[in-house]
Amino acid sequence: MGILRIDPPIYLFVSLAMIAVLHLFVPGARVIPAPWNLLGFVSLVVGAILNLLADTSFKTGGTSVKPLGDTTTLVTTGVFRLSRHPMYLGFVLILLGAAVLSGSMTPFLVVLVFLVFMDTVFIRFEEKKLAQTFGDAWLDYTHLVRRWI
């Protein structure tokens, strides 16, 4: 549970820093030339909007946004109709946008590692917790909405 005590946004910021470091010091091949790399802004903005909308849904539902916080409401409306984990999806889109903006190859490794880490550590923990808390309502929701998209 030690890894879960660090909130996911910290992992996002560390990953953004890693993208910058890899791009500056070990960029690898240039895979997205200018001006096409500017398309990364689209992914970055969409990811940020997803996070804001999901955060608002949690606050409206009166439940905690933190993985170890008290989950009092199963939020299934808004962006949660599109993804069971829109905040993590938003984080991945932000990182993908940063990698595209860099234009170099190695930052994309950070995106992949982040996605796998969030899925295997945080999402599996949260889904188990939600299943225990909400039972059949959670199970029904999982049949209607995919984990990522």
Mapped to the 3 state alphabet, what secondary structure does 33-80 carry?
CCCHHHHHHHHHHHHHHHHHHHHHHHHHHCCCCCCCCCCCCCCCCHHH
Tell whether the model's pLDDT for residue 1 goes beyond 70. no
User: Does 3.40.50.300 match the CATH number of domain 3-144?
Assistant: no
pLDDT in tens, 19-78: 999 999 999 999 999 999 999 999 999 999 999 999 999 999 999 999 999 999 999 999
Q: CA-CA distance, 99 to 58, in Å (whole number)?
A: 29
- Asked if 128 and 45 touch (Cβ cutoff 8 Å), the reply is no
pLDDT in tens, 72-97: 999 999 999 999 999 999 999 999 99
Give the amino acid at 10: I
pLDDT at 81: 97
pLDDT at 115: 98
pLDDT in tens, 105-114: 999 999 999 9
Q: What are the sequence ranges of the domains in the chain?
A: 3-144
Tell whether the model's pLDDT for residue 4 goes beyond 90. no
| CA-closest candidate to residue 104, choices 14, 21, 13, 11 | 21
3 state SS of 116: helix
